[in-house]
Structure 1
Amino acid sequence: MDNKSLENESLQNVKSVLKFLNLVHELKYSVRRGWERRGVEGAETISGHMYAMAMMTFLLPNNSNLDRLKCLQLTVIHDLAECIVGDITPHDGIPEEEKHRREDEAMKDICELVGGEQGQLMQELYKEYETKATPEAKFVKDLDRFDFIFTAFDLEKKRNKPREFQDFFDHMEGQFEHPLIQELVKGLNEERNQYGTNSK
C-alpha cells in the first residue's frame, strides 16, 4: 500500500471515529425518559447514569473475584446503543424483542464506526452484558438497578416527596444478587425509611 492509500485510509478512520464521538456526545444531553414521564424536570441524562455506575465499580476491593476494569468497561457500554435508538421504555409499547433488535443493530453500526480490535471489543462487551454471560455482567446489572433506586431516593429528597417513587423500589425488591450491592440496598432503604419518618 502506497503512502497516498495510507493517508486516505487514515482520513476515513478519523472521519468514522469523529462520527462515533458525535453519537456518544449526544448521550450527555439525552434525558432518561422514565423520569420525564414522572414529571421530573432536569432529570438525569443517559451518560450521567452510566458515569454513576462507572464510579461504583471502584467500590470493588482489590481481592474481589470480579475484574474491576471489565466491570468499568461494561458500565460505559451497556446503554451506548441509546445514542441511536433513544431511551426506549416499557411505556413506549415496543415489544422487548423489537427493542433488542434495534439496539443490536445500533451497536453493530457504532462498532463499525470505531472498527478494528477496538470496535470488536465494544461489540463483545455489549453482548456479554446483554446475555449476562459473566459474573461481571451480572454485577453491572446490579449496578444498573441500584443506580435506579438511588436516583429515585435522591429525587424524593430533592422534591421533598417521601415515597413518591415507592413503585420503583417495589419493582426492584429482591432483584439484587451481589453481596456488596445488597448491603448498599439495605443501607439505602434504612436511610430512606428514616427520611420518611422524619418528614411526617
Structure 2
Amino acid sequence: MTSKVTQIFEFMKLIGQLKRTQRTGWVLRGVPRPESVADHMYRMAALAFLAKTDASLCHDKCIKLCLVHDMAECIVGDLTPADDVPKEEKHEREKNAMMHIRDLVGMETGEELFTLWQEYENQETSEAKYVKDLDKFDMILQAHEYEEMENCPGKLQEFFDSTQGKFQHPTVQGWVQELENQRCSTAENTELDS
C-alpha cells in the first residue's frame, strides 16, 4: 500500500515536470529558450491578481484556475493541433491525467483541483472565461516579447491572428489593444532603423 506522503511526492514530481515541459508552439517555431508550461501558468496567475479590479470576478478562483488549467500537461504533454490529436481525445487524456492527480492528493484538495480544471474546460463561469482570456493574452504577450528579443517584428503573427476577435473581458481587450499599439510602434521603429 502506498503511503499518503509517497503519493504527495509523486504529485510534486509530476507538477515539477511542468517546469521542464517547453511550450510546443514556441518549439515548433524555433524560438530559442522557449518558456515552459510552468512559466506560462505562473505569469497567468500573476495577471489574475489584477482581477481584483473587477468586483464581478472571484479573484482567488481566477488565480487557482490559472494554476490548474494546464496541470494535466505534466502527464500528457503540451498537445497542439500539430500533434493531430482529436479535440475529444485530448480532452479525455487530460481528464484522465487530472483524475490521477486528484487521486494522488486526496479527497478534498484533489476534488478541488479536478473541479477547477472542469470549470475551466467547460467555460461556463465568468472566472473561467476571464482566465481563458488571460491564457490567450499571455500567449500573444509572449509572442511579442520573442519578436522583440529576436528583433523580428511580425515573425509570430500567426499567434495574434489565432486570437483575433476572441477576447471577451473588457480589461483584457484593453490590454490587447495596448499590446497592438506597442507592437506597431516596435515595427515602425525597426523600419526606421533599417
Deviation at 1:33, TM superposition (A): 1.0
The separation in 2 between residues aligned to 1:62 and 1:44, in whole angstroms, is 28
Which residue matches 1:115? 106
Q: Which structure has the larger Rg?
A: 1
| Structure 2 unaligned regions, length at least 5 | none
**1:61-76 map, 5 Å:** 61-62=52-53, 64-76=55-67
Instruction: Determine whether 1:190 maps to 2:190.
Output: no
The residue number in structure 2 matching 1:56 is 47
Q: How does 1:143-154 map to 2 (within 5 A)?
A: 143-154=134-145
CA distance in 2, matches of 1:179, 1:51: 22
Deviation at 1:116, TM superposition (A): 1.6
Provide closer, same or farther for how the CA distance between residues 181 and 63 of structure 1 changes in structure 2, counting only shifts above 3 A.
Answer: closer
Q: Counterpart of 1:81 in structure 2: which amino acid?
A: A
Report the CA distance between 1:62 and its aligned residue.
Answer: 4.9
Aligned to 1:3: none
In the aligned structure 1, how far is the partner of 2:179 from the partner of 2:55?
A: 23
Letter in 2 for 1:18: F
Matches within 5 A, 1:18-167: 18-62=9-53, 64-167=55-158
Normalised by the length of structure 2, the TM-score is 0.96
Are residues 180 and 14 of structure 1, via their aligned partners in 2, closer, same or farther at CA, if it must alter by over 3 Å?
same
Q: Distance in 2 between matches of 1:142 and 1:22?
A: 29
Secondary structure class of the residue paired with 1:28: helix
The answer for the alignment partner of 1:168 in structure 2 is 159
1:143: Cα distance to partner? 0.2
* Whole-Å separation in 2 of the counterparts to 1:81 and 1:42: 22
The Cα of 1:75 is off from its aligned counterpart by: 0.2
With over 3 angstroms needed to count, the CA separation of the structure-2 counterparts of 1:63 and 1:181, relative to structure 1, is closer
TM-score between both structures, scaled by the size of structure 1: 0.93
- AA of the residue aligned to 1:15: T
Whole-angstrom CA distance in 2 between matches of 1:192 and 1:161: 11
**Number of matched pairs:** 191
Paired with 2:136 and 2:166, the residues of 1 have a C-alpha distance of 8
Which whole-Å CA distance do the structure 1 matches of 2:55 and 2:19 have between them?
A: 31
